[in-house]
Structure 1
Amino acid sequence: MIVPSEEMATETLSLEMQLEKAEQKAAEMHDAFLRAKAETENIRRRAQEEITKAHKFAVEGFAEAMLAVKDSLEMSLKVEAPSVESIKEGVEATLRQLAHVFEQNKLVAVIPAKGEKLDPMKHQAISTVPSDQAPNTIVEVLQKGYMLSDRLLRPAIVIVSAAK
């Protein structure tokens, strides 16, 4: 037969052990929480640094490709006695280089055809002229527009027909 005080002592000892285990488990969980929080903060900081680098160097490929075009232009200025024909050939070669750079970087010209309907998302009408064509039809293209991938950088400047 166990004396009540012995029973209480055993029960107290058991409760103390349970409390100690619970405190140990809580300390482990707190440590795991702090580690997870620190890791999350590190991931967030690294992601922010990557985004900053991406913004800073976003045009790096385009800039590298443009260096060849700049080199060609500088070389053309070094020619001692250029003829009109050699200048024209140099300009055409440089223009081909530039067109290739544009193509590589998905920079596409917006050149509407005469008779095409005005698209306000790609064209900017600066004038209207009387014409036999339907209203808001492109009569003349004054300046090409450009798109970068699917984003309009500059609209094509056009003259459109007016309603009679």
Structure 2
Amino acid sequence: MSDDAGTEQEEPETVETGDESAGSDAEPGEPTLADEVAEHDENLADRVAALEERAADAADRADEAEARAEEAEERADELESNLARTKADFQNYKKRAKKRQEQQRERATEDLVSRLTEVRDNLVRALDQDEDADIRPGVESTLETFDRVLAEENVEVIAPEPGEDVDPERHEVMMRVDSDRPDGTVAEVYKPGYEMAGKVIEAAQVTVSDGDE
């Protein structure tokens, strides 16, 4: 063996680091692992920001909804209070109206009684005359006074003429009698009736013709 062979020294092997290996594997223009991590972190930050923004919007809407609910509740309380006052006012109005009606009825009754006492006074004066005196004129005058009072109260006498048709609403048939009046018509008024303001308060009692004699 020659000296050159004995003296030849082997060159040390080169140890490649991880970064150099990673750098050497990446093709030109392609993102490195660090770039991908940075992009991932950026996307994550954007999503977190978006979520925070949505959460803030939801919180604002919740606050607005709560404010509207409080406003609606206040409005409902106000309406309920107004309704209670309106009901109380209406009840008071009904009481006042009823009291006025009672007062008007009392005054109307007092006025009617005061006018009827005039009729009574006339009857008393007629009876105070001598027994031989003719009281017919006094009675006729009293009847005129009484009829005037009834007319002022919008009261009319129901007294159909013989031969008129029977009105079931205003006439009460007592019996059928022989008469020269047409069959089924009023033969005679047995007792007059009365109506007030178009309302029958007492039907006239009549007899009805049973045909020609």
Is the structural similarity TM-score above 0.5?
Answer: yes
Q: CA deviation at 1:111?
A: 0.8
Residues paired across the two proteins, number? 163
From the CA coordinates, give the structure whose radius of gyration is larger: 2
The answer to whether structure 1 residue 82 and structure 2 residue 82 are counterparts is no
Partners of 1:82 and 1:132 in 2: CA distance: 43
Alignment TM-score, normalising by the size of structure 1: 0.73
Tell me if the contact between 2:126 and 2:139 (Cα under 8 Å) persists in the aligned partners. no
Give 5+ residue unaligned stretches, structure 2.
1-45
Identity across matched positions, percent: 18
Deviates more, 1:139-148 or 1:18-27: 18-27
In structure 1, how many angstroms separate the alpha carbons of the residues matched to 2:211 and 2:119? Answer: 48
- 3-state DSSP of counterpart to 1:153: strand
Q: 2:62 aligns with which of 3, 7, 15?
A: 15
| Amino acid aligned to 2:101 | A
Aligned: 1:131 with 2:179: yes
For 1:43-82, what aligned pairs fall within 5 Å after superposition?
43-47=90-94, 50-51=97-98, 54=101, 57-58=104-105, 60-61=107-108, 63-74=110-121, 77=124, 82=129
**1:97-112 equivalence runs, <5 A:** 97-112=145-160
TM-score normalized by structure 2?
0.59
RMSD between superposed Cα atoms in Å: 3.6
Q: Distance in 2 between matches of 1:140 and 1:100?
A: 25
- Unmatched tracts of structure 1, length 5 or more: none
Shift in CA distance, 160/71, structure 1 to aligned 2, threshold 3 Å: same
Whether contact under 8 Å (1:124, 1:157) holds in the other structure is yes
Query: Cα offset for 1:66?
Result: 3.4
Q: Relative to structure 1, is the Cα distance of residues 59 and 118 closer, same or farther in structure 2, using a 3 angstrom cutoff? A: farther
- Please state how far the C-alpha of 1:163 moved relative to its aligned partner: 4.0
Give the secondary-structure state (helix, strand or coil) at the position aligned to 2:206. Answer: strand
